[in-house]
Chain A
């Protein structure tokens, strides 16, 4: 039982160990984060000034598309699966994931999917250029030939996500230590359980929509072609039926991460644990009945507009419960502001700003003005960057000492935080103004009147990018030469993962712990 990891490259190729696989997921997602970041910086460099300077419009379109795809499917989702792999078994007192071999498989197909997706950049006709939402007929009739590679890449990513989700559900439902009842589970485990169900429900729908595209392109069907009796609007409905739960897939685990961190550094138990669980479940349910708010301008009956508008606004209620609980957890706590806490507090504030702009967009009549402007870009970057990305970063700083046994450099961590915080606000806050003034998204050139806001955005984007390099350096320096961390790591930490030594041994909880 006490055997350690195998040596050499085969350790990583053949591993069925949840910690190894978790680490690989996290490194892979960081690599994708940098790749998607480079694409973003190409976009921001082009938009630094009005006019066309650096890239051709065709290539600009490929950049916006690849940036979105790589960040959503390559950076955010695998990062959360990586955190789940590392933390879920340790949080519930399980020796490993329920299906370790499938776990290996679900990771190792990902590099192939993204190699295939990235290779389209070098193909004749270029990479996909139809936006990450790949609306038909842009992605069917007018798509570059590389769209077929895109379709298969999405199939593989979907298969990987579904397998990961099945594994997580099986682990949580079947592998909990004795005494670990559902309502005693840490919130990160709860949010991932619900996220995994969302994944299994909607990733097949994504696979379905790309399969229909494939058949329209190569096999003469007309799902999305009006000439053959189909309808391009159908594409948007099916896509957003996947797409809306997808945005909660990217944010629910983030809720779990900050719900673990805030109580630690506020030195108070999480306020309203049960309401957090129910709020998460309500958000997951509501996510299935609001998809058409992405397509208010497509031409819907007034009853449809009203239904989707009110249903969307309803999501603010459980989300408000969560924000209230985090704030109340901090209220009168003995707070300290180590790096994970800084990222988590920023998460609460900035995610709430993103939520408010979301409410503005939910107002159907107002959405006709905001639709497809930079206001939308500002909105979803405010929920994804300080939402998903900040929570992942916070999670990495919070658990890194447990993973590698060494403490990160606090000064460098704080430096990273402030650079990222200032960088992201400089990048995305001006986009609200540019968008409200009418700047359309996904266009490589713009009117002179938007020049100042765009210049600020571009400067902020490069600052944010530089901050991530500092993050990379800090993580490597910690692993290589950090100070030894204690088992408890944080004074206020609670939970099973802090009862094992630092670094966490290769095998933990081979005999289940007693949970009281």
Chain B
């Protein structure tokens, strides 16, 4: 009788420990990717998709959408970082090239990473980048200037009520992280 209760206790405890371990794994290995997927589907946070392969080009000249460009430096990032044009008008389906300009005015070599965000959120999944400097990090030597290219297409299916899209880049200083070259970041980067 006493032995049976003990056996039941051990079995039940093992099950509960397994539940605890499962919840730990859920928090670390499931929630972050799930959140990324969720953001991608809903356009939440203005996360735009990764590189996009252009399909056959058809341009809808009946619509015109204003795309505005914003550049922000994160915290103490000393670079000069600005869009070549503040805003342009594009037709859905038309591939458009623009540039951002970056200057490293410091006397040390640095590496930067631009992280995009886009409003309105509901336009995020209709804004395709075929080329973007944000896909890679940007090393600039001391005093160097660079023109950073961006090619995008606004999808033909962009919702009717969207007339203006604002694309913002925040520039982060990742010099230290790059130098440390620490492995371990397994998260999919979807800049």
Give the interface of A toward B (CB within 8 A).
Answer: 98-99, 102, 162, 165-166, 169-170, 173-175, 200-205, 207-209, 211-212, 215, 219-223, 226-231, 233-234, 237-238, 241-242, 299-301
Contacts and interface: CB of A to CB of B under 8 A. Distances in A.
Contacts of A228: 113, 174, 177, 185, 187, 189
Contact of A200 (B23, B32, B113, B183): B23
A166 B17 contact: yes
Interface in B38-61: 39, 42, 44-45
Nearest to A209: B27
Main SS class of interface, B: helix
Contact of A204 (B9, B12, B23, B188): B23
Contacts of B180: 220
B5 interface: yes
Given A166-B13, A231-B39, A202 B28 contact: no
A241 B182 CA distance: 29
Contact of B28 (A162, A170, A212, A299): A212
Interface string B149-191: 0000000000000000000001011100100101111111111
A206 B73 CA distance: 32
Give the interface size bracket for B toward A: 35 or more
B71 to A, nearest CB: 15
A223 B9 contact: no
Given A162-B20, A227-B115, A227-B177, 5 more contacts: A102-B13, A170-B16, A221-B186, A237-B31, A238-B31
Contact of A229 (B16, B44, B189): B189
B56 to A, nearest CB: 31
B16 A241 contact: no
Contacts of A229: 115, 185, 187-191
B45 A227 contact: no
A240 to B, nearest CB: 12
Contacts of B42: 301
Given A201-B19, A201-B23, A227 B113 contact: yes
A220 B185 contact: yes
A234 B172 contact: no
A169 B8 CA distance: 12
Nearest to A219: B184
23 contacts: A162-B20, A169-B12, A169-B16, A170-B13, A170-B16, A174-B9, A174-B12, A204-B20, A204-B22, A205-B24, A208-B26, A211-B28, A220-B183, A226-B115, A226-B170, A226-B172, A228-B185, A228-B189, A233-B45, A234-B35, A241-B31, A299-B44, A299-B45
Nearest to B75: A141
B12 A170 contact: yes
A485 B152 CA distance: 82
Given A215-B184, A229-B189, A223 B32 contact: yes
Contacts of A231: 35, 39, 45
> Binding site of A, secondary structure by majority: helix, strand, loop or mixed?
helix
A227 B171 CA distance: 8
Contacts of B21: 204
A226 B173 CA distance: 11
A222 B28 contact: no
B113 A220 contact: no
B44 A300 contact: yes
Given A227-B172, A228-B185, A204 B32 contact: no
Contacts of A99: 9, 13
Contact of B24 (A98, A207, A219, A299): A207
A418 to B, nearest CB: 43
B162 to A, nearest CB: 15
B122 to A, nearest CB: 8
Nearest to A227: B172
Contact of B187 (A223, A226, A238): A223
Contacts of A207: 24, 27
B121 interface: yes
Interface in B105-155: 113, 115, 121
Nearest to B186: A221
Contacts of A242: 27
Given A221-B184, A299-B45, A175 B174 contact: no
B26 to A, nearest CB: 7
Contact of B23 (A205, A215, A226, A234): A205
Given A228-B185, A229-B187, A229-B188, A208 B115 contact: no
The 5 tightest CB contacts between A and B, nearest first, are A208-B27, A220-B182, A227-B172, A204-B24, A229-B189
A174 B172 contact: no
Given A162-B20, A204-B21, A223-B32, A230 B13 contact: no
B66 interface: no
Contacts of A300: 44
B144 to A, nearest CB: 20
A105 to B, nearest CB: 13
A175 B5 contact: yes
